Amino acid sequence: MWQRHKILWISIAAGWMLIALSFTLNYFFFSSHYVTIFSTPPTLLQMLVWEIPYWILWAALAPVVFLITRRFPLERQSWLRNASIHAAAGIGLAIAHRIVYLPICWLLYVDVYRKMPSLTDLYASDLLFNLPTGLMCYGTFLLVSNVIEYYEQSQAGKLRASQLEAQLAQSQLLALKMQLHPHFLFNTLNSISALQMTDVEAANRMTARLGDFLRMTLDNVGAQEVTLRQEMEFLRCYLEIERIRFQDRMELTMDIDPDALDVHVPNLILQPLLENSIKYTVLLRTGTGHIQIRANRSAEVLRVQVEDDGIGLQMPRNSNQVTRGGVGLSNTKERLRQLYGNLQSFALDHSSSGGVLVTMEIPIHRNGN
């Protein structure tokens, strides 16, 4: 601790010692002046006339001190050179202050200065009087300026860190979202390829819907959130593709609260949930699969549920935790965590029909992005 801040502590000790020596010398060399000043108690008006111009002048000099401080900051690399500059500037401004202050006091009939026969005599007598107070004024402004500079740098550092963190989160979210498209596109293109051999009209409809799907994706490529209404339009386009693909093997019901349609949700958040349900309800078993989508809102939370009657949750070997799905569900869960932190929830449960119930809760807020 001592070794790391040795220069700082030595500088502080030397600074206070210089102040003590400066005041001591001032009292010693101008002792007769103090006797003259305080021989009788001054009136309040005399003190005001004496003091107010003094501090107004220092207030006018404060911007100069701030400029010098910003030009010559007390940094570790150049502290000795800049400290010398500040010492010289402090003495110079203190003397400049006296050069302006003394004639003002002389004109205002301050007793102790008015007794001097001329300004030349006044300068010769009092130019260096109260120099320590002037240096302390300069030091105070120097300290305040450094504190302000430190605070601004600290705030700027926090802002940069916050911006970098937001950019990182944005990149992670974009990466998670982009992982979803190739997965879906490969399946759709394979389906179109298969249909072209057996049902050209269905292949053409699927191609058209795929075009709509990609157009809607590009329209919202930079948006992390859209309204539930936009998300449902996107989802209907996706489901039309899947209905062409599976025809009467997939039944879908929707129960969407109209008041929930204007709530903002993560862009493309529902498609992987539906894709996962279709996989475990239609693809991996025979017969017709049933999927339900429900959405309702309370004052602060939007709840979205996707329920199916598929093969249910699986329990991996050597694990006591049920699971289902791969990249789609894990990405959905991670996107919710990135966007809303602890304000969101995502859960997989057994449904009453033997399949899986996915429940997602999102905080309601006004701004989408």
What's the pLDDT at 369?
44
| Paired residues of 359 in beta bridges | 305, 347
φ, ψ of residue 295 to 5 degrees: the values are -145, 130
What's the pLDDT at 172?
61
Going by the DSSP 8-state scheme, the letter that residue 74 receives in this structure is -
| Cβ atoms 66, 145 nearer than 8 A | yes
Give the list of residues 6+ apart from residue 124 with CB closer than 8 angstroms, or none: none
| Paired residues of 29 in beta bridges | none
What's the pLDDT at 368?
44
What interhelical angle do 180-198 and 200-219 show, nearest 10? 160
What's the pLDDT at 107?
86
Q: How far is CA 272 from the centre of its chain?
A: 31
Q: How far is CA 47 from CA 35, 37, 134, 212, in A?
A: 16, 11, 18, 84
For 110, left (φ over 0), alpha (ψ -120 to 50), or beta?
Answer: beta
- Which helix (H) or strand (E) segment holds residue 357: the answer is strand 356-363
What's the pLDDT at 238?
82
pTM to 2 decimal places = 0.52
Q: Consecutive 10-residue runs of the chain (369 residues): their mean pLDDT? A: 63 70 72 70 78 89 90 81 91 93 85 79 85 86 83 82 70 59 73 79 82 75 81 86 82 92 88 85 84 92 92 63 64 83 89 89 72
- As given in the structure block, the two tokens for residue 300 are 């602060």
- Which helix (H) or strand (E) segment holds residue 285: the answer is none
Q: With b meaning 16 or more CB within 10 Å and e meaning fewer, what string describes 260-269?
A: beebbbbbbb
Burial of 147 per CB tally in 10 Å (0-12, 13-18, 19+)? exposed
Q: What is the DSSP string of 201-262?
A: HHHHHHHHHHHHHHHHHHHTTT-SEEEHHHHHHHHHHHHHHHHHHHGGGEEEEEEE-GGGTT
Which residue matches tokens 């602890």?
342
What's the pLDDT at 326?
65
Q: With b meaning 16 or more CB within 10 Å and e meaning fewer, what string describes 194-206?
A: ebeeeeeebbebb
Q: Are strands 264-266 and 289-297 parallel, antiparallel or unpaired?
A: unpaired
| Cβ atoms 360, 345 nearer than 8 A | yes
Q: What is the DSSP string of 136-157?
A: HHHHHHHHHHHHHHHHHHHHHH
